[in-house]
């Protein structure tokens, strides 16, 4: 009988060890999930901040393009690529270094805001993802306070009231 008692004690000890390993594993998984959630939120905040920066660059470049010509010849660019090389005046001007990718969608395709007299007066992300609340708003972007998607954030040069409500897609 002493043999069975020792065997029963060894089994009980092995069961407790197995239970302790399972609890430790569950705690490690919970900690990793919490860390992943924090990392994911931080990454989303970085992408949103980058969208604000890139959108401001587009807005500034559109403004420089518009203001570069004499008053009578002022117009908005017809394509985003016009910001890369403005050949309207003697000496090529570059208002934008490159066509930036949308940091939210990681795509080169931007939605564009049509100017009333033709051309592009602004851009926006085509993402339907929800913005992170309270993650910094910029004066360079006209945002609807109730915006539920990044696609509702418009980076516009000029008065937003002048903009056409139907944006086009730019690739």
Q: How confident is the model at residue 119 (pLDDT cuts 50, 70, 90)?
A: very high
Q: How confident is the model at residue 148 (pLDDT cuts 50, 70, 90)?
A: confident
User: Do the domain assignments include residue 18?
Assistant: no
Q: What is the pLDDT of residues 16-46, one digit of tens each?
A: 999 999 999 999 999 999 999 899 989 999 9
* Ramachandran angles phi, psi of 142, nearest 5°: -90, 105
Enclosing domain of residue 104: 49-170
User: Do the domain assignments include residue 5?
Assistant: no
Residue that has been written with the tokens 């905040």 in this structure: 45
Mean residue pLDDT of the chain comes to 83
User: Do the domain assignments include residue 25?
Assistant: no
Q: What is the pLDDT of residues 62-112, one digit of tens each?
A: 999 999 888 778 899 999 999 999 888 888 889 999 999 999 999 999 999
Cα 123 to Cα 8, 27, 53, 87, 143: the distances in Å are: 73, 46, 13, 22, 12
pLDDT score for 139: 44
- Spell out where 13-128 has E strands: 110-114, 120-124
User: Do the domain assignments include residue 35?
Assistant: no
User: Do the domain assignments include residue 113?
Assistant: yes
User: Do the domain assignments include residue 125?
Assistant: yes
User: Do the domain assignments include residue 40?
Assistant: no
pLDDT score for 86: 87
Q: d(Cα 45, Cα 66) in Å, to the nearest integer?
A: 32
CA angle (152 as vertex; 53, 124 as ends), nearest 5? 45
User: Do the domain assignments include residue 61?
Assistant: yes
Q: What's the structural domain count of the chain?
A: 1
């Amino acid at each position: 009988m002493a043999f069975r008692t020792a065997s029963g004690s060894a089994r009980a000890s092995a069961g407790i060890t197995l239970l302790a390993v399972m609890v430790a594993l569950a705690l490690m998984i919970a900690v990793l999930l919490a860390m992943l959630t924090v990392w994911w939120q931080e990454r989303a905040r970085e992408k949103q901040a980058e969208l604000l920066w890139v959108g401001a660059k587009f807005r500034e470049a559109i403004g420089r393009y518009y203001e570069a010509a004499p008053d009578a010849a002022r117009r908005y660019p017809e394509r985003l690529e016009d910001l890369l090389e403005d050949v309207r005046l003697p000496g090529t001007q570059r208002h934008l270094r490159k066509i930036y990718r949308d940091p939210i969608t990681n795509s080169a395709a931007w939605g564009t805001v049509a100017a009333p007299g033709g051309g592009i007066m602004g851009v926006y992300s085509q993402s339907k993802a929800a913005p992170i609340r309270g993650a910094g708003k910029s004066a360079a972007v006209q945002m609807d306070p109730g915006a539920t998607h990044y696609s509702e954030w418009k980076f516009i040069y000029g008065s937003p009231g002048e903009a056409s409500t139907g944006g086009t897609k730019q690739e």
